[in-house]
Structure 1
């Protein structure tokens, strides 16, 4: 199974006050906490233009801006761009603001990939986690259709796909593993989750 890891780091981070991907936490930027927990293989970063120098300075090779025709259209644009630019069977999509995700969780999630599913989505604390999920390449036409119809919410896409929902019990997740960092106060001072 050929998987490309996709880190979504193109958001405006308005509530956070600075780009979350580059925020230093426990000696490294938030995106690196995420990157270290992804599956084996290539990782691409979908970035905001202002972060390109930061990623270049950190030696990141595969950093792309959203495709021009969908720039500014949210996470779906990032997923679309990754699928357009990099051929793979599956794409593990991960938001850059989830530093507590574990490699074991990504591995378990990938074990649910099959020919019967277009997307593998965790369900944690009663909420779907579509920005910590796997998408098969066959979902690309549906993503393109959503973007053309100005349906930018990932939930709109999921209604068009064959989705395999994976419960937190199946994933054996830790309590805060899927916590998004939206404000600085969401990051524990001592690093404990």
Structure 2
């Protein structure tokens, strides 16, 4: 993928696309290749690239995404699911901050990304939103230096929320999120055939 000639809006942040496993509930398709309005989810997310210094794909089976030409890293500690994916992104980053997005989130917007990034402070190590009482760690920004402590903690198989609770995390309330995304579309993820139909998302052509 060719890098834009323009300077990134946030040169201190890497965008990490967390591919995770194959979508077993979606006939094994790579979820970043799901199609919305003629574009794959991956293409829609890569439209955010000008905001960032670099894009990194975290994938243990990267072959379906080869055509995008992204720097790709596997989990550094195998078998830890989404916490392991974020840890791999933190360890691979060449910038002080990492913005992590799951590859099954088709509707992430630049406005939402900017709102999360704007909440960073000197005394904060991570920023995520809260939707329906749940913290949303796969649309969130992290200091890359969390990688060491995060890696040590993975031996306990913690949830992403538990890891965030151990860090200095700023949690944005739902009211603030709705100010930039009234329907909270950015936090939609697609994992089932029912969700495909609900959000007008299609399987990739065979």
Q: TM-score range by the shorter chain?
A: 0.7 to 0.9
- Asked whether the equivalents of residues 9 and 47 of structure 1 are also in contact (C-alpha less than 8 Å), the reply is yes
Alignment of 1:152-167 (within 5 A): 152-167=158-173
* 1:80 counterpart = 2:116: no
In structure 2, C-alpha distance between the alignment counterparts of 1:166 and 1:41, rounded to whole Å: 24
Specify the alignment match of 1:131 in structure 2. Answer: 138
Specify the alignment match of 2:47 in structure 1. Answer: 36
Alignment of 1:1-193 (within 5 A): 2-17=12-27, 18-37=29-48, 39-49=51-61, 52-56=62-66, 58-67=67-76, 70-147=77-154, 149-171=155-177, 172=179, 173-175=181-183, 176-188=185-197, 191=200
CA displacement at 1:189 relative to structure 2: 7.0
CA 1:19–1:108 in structure 2 vs 1: closer, same or farther (change >3 Å)?
A: same
CA displacement at 1:174 relative to structure 2: 3.2
Gaps spanning 5+ residues in structure 2: where? 1-10, 202-206
Q: TM-score, normalised by structure 2?
A: 0.81
Q: TM-score, normalised by structure 1?
A: 0.86
- Asked whether the equivalents of residues 74 and 152 of structure 1 are also in contact (C-alpha less than 8 Å), the reply is no
CA displacement at 1:61 relative to structure 2: 2.7
- Asked whether the equivalents of residues 112 and 186 of structure 2 are also in contact (C-alpha less than 8 Å), the reply is no
CA displacement at 1:153 relative to structure 2: 1.3
What is the aligned residue count? Answer: 186
Q: Deviations over 1:11-68 (max 9, x none)?
A: 232222222112233222222222323533211111132xx23222x2323122212x
**Structure 2 residue matching 1:117: 3-state secondary structure:** coil
Q: Deviations over 1:116-164 (max 9, x none)?
A: 11110111232210111011123222211211x2324112211211110
In structure 1, C-alpha distance between the alignment counterparts of 2:145 and 2:198, rounded to whole Å: 42
CA displacement at 1:92 relative to structure 2: 0.3
RMSD value, Cα: 2.1
